[in-house]
Amino acid sequence: MLAVLCAHRVVRQDQLGRLFPEIPERTLRYRTRRLHESGLAGRSRPYRDRGSAPNHHWPTRRADCLMRGDPMPRGGERRPPNPVFLAHAAALTELYVAIFTTARAAGFVGFGYEREGEAREAFQDGVRERALAPDATLVLVDEQDRKFSAFVEIDRGTMSHARLRQKAELYAAYAASDAWRKRHQFLPALLFLTTTDIRARKFLKALAKALSYGPRRQGRHAFVAGAAGTWAPHRLLDEPCLVDLDGKRGLTLLDVLNSAREPYEEACAYRQEQREAEEEKRRALRDDPDAMREHLGDNRNVLKSYVGALGPLGKITIELLIASTTQPLSEEREALRAIARDLGDALPELRSKQLPSPGEVVRSEIELLAEHYRTKQVEQARTLAGRHGEGPCLREAWDLVCKGGLLDPAALDRLPHDAERDAAGRCEQHERREVYLRWRERTARELARKAGPLGRLTHRAEDFYPQLDQERLRICTRCGETAYPRAREPGSFGSTPLPRCHYCREAGSKPYDIPSSKESEAYL
């Protein structure tokens, strides 16, 4: 009984009887008298127009300290509360008693109740710091463990209409600020209980106006409110005695609570559908390598950080895996499954901030897949070399693969065309080489004859080959191949421009070095 007094501040004698139905009324009166004699409770009997009012009990300062475990207070007891506070506090207690005693019969298995001090919530309204302090907050829990909550405002006919409009504006600001998300699953309903239907309608009208927004005030922030103009808390769960913001009458408290929870239920159902759809998509991606490969290709930009963590070789391997258009092989299937398992919950809707680091299983599968691709690229290079001969492009690809690297998809697609182009360039190089060699031999003999009798004794025609090679030949800086000049006219190479590479067609070249005889034969 003392705990009830300290929690609710004012409790009538008849309310104690309904809260403790198993205790005889005489025993309850005896126990309250003992609390008064011990200095733990005070009581008064306010004026009533008809008949006599029941005793109103309230806790003393000693009782509050006793329940909190604090030292006994000094400075005397508090004064008896005034009649207005007694009536308001007793009305709040009546609401608690009415809901508490009828909730189980209405199908609720849990009940929570907070008075103004505990229900107070500070929130930010633009640049202003404000606080919502309802008279009470109700929480009801049904058999499915669903919670229904509502703010309660009780007006005993003492508040001015200006004060009611201020309260309506405060609730509208609270709903518009979304501050409720920090404490509640959904925006609680507002239950306004007053003494007349006129006051109830005026409050709802002020609240609807405060919730309105837009150029023509046609929009309205989502908020559920119910008001009753007849003070009868025991009717809330059983009888249709409430009216809502749209003027709909004949609502019970459960109707209002369900309307407030309905958006949350819809959001939960939508999230559940999304989770089920994501799980279905995740399962399909894990089981279907083709779909997983296409999914990786569609999200390659998002996967940059994940793929980059696998290193340069792993990055090229993933690019080759995505670019493949044939039926996935066993190595590719295992790699795709490993990536799907590694990405986990982030797999259906990939976002760069949610991607994990590649695991050891993925790294191992990517290494095996890279070795498989390397073997295939070696075989392809050998096939092209047998068909078109060995050229600079094939030599470059061969060197890269033999050193542990891989050709990226673009280079691999260009390789057959490059090998065919190198074959044409080799034919051109051989044709010009034969023309050049005949010209060089003829020109060297002429230079030997012009050297005179003594010069012919000391110099042979072959001694002038290096000089002519340096003047006419170039080495391609990209391919390393010898570039032979084009004859301006049959049998003439005089004052020709610098030759381009027969293979890559690049003009960048360096002077022809004078090698040894064996190197000269190799170059020429």
Q: 325 falls in which pLDDT band (50, 70, 90)?
A: confident
- What is the rounded average pLDDT of the residues 256-270? 94
Beta-ladder partners of 242: 251
Q: Contact, 143 vs 196, CB < 8 A? A: no
pLDDT in tens, 269-278: 999 998 898 8
What one-letter code names the amino acid at 23?
I
User: What percent of the chain is predicted at pLDDT more than 70?
Assistant: 94
The reported pLDDT for the residue numbered 515 is 52
SS3 sequence of 155-171: CCCCCCHHHHHHHHHHH
Which range has the worst mean pLDDT, 57-71, 163-177, 487-501? 487-501
Strand 243-244 to strand 219-220: parallel, antiparallel, or no bridges (unpaired)?
unpaired
Asked whether the predicted pLDDT for residue 457 surpasses 70, the reply is no
Res. 455 pLDDT band, cuts 50 70 90: low
Answer whether 485's CB lies under 8 Å from 432's CB: yes
Q: What is the DSSP letter of 51?
A: S
Pairwise CA distance, residues 259 & 253, whole Å = 10
- The chain-wide mean pLDDT, for the chain, equals 87
Q: When comparing pLDDT for 217 and 175, which is higher?
A: 175
pLDDT at 440: 86
Do 370 and 313 form a contact (C-beta atoms < 8 A)?
Answer: yes
Give the residue among 82, 39, 89 at the shortest CA–CA distance from 60.
Answer: 39
Task: Quote the percentage of the chain above a pLDDT of 90.
Answer: 46
Closest CA relative to residue 297, chosen from 331, 330, 328: 328
Residue 484 has a CB neighbour count (10 Å cut-off) of 23
Q: What is the pLDDT of residues 483-524, one digit of tens each?
A: 888 766 444 555 556 777 878 877 767 777 755 333 333 334
**Does pTM surpass 0.75?**
no
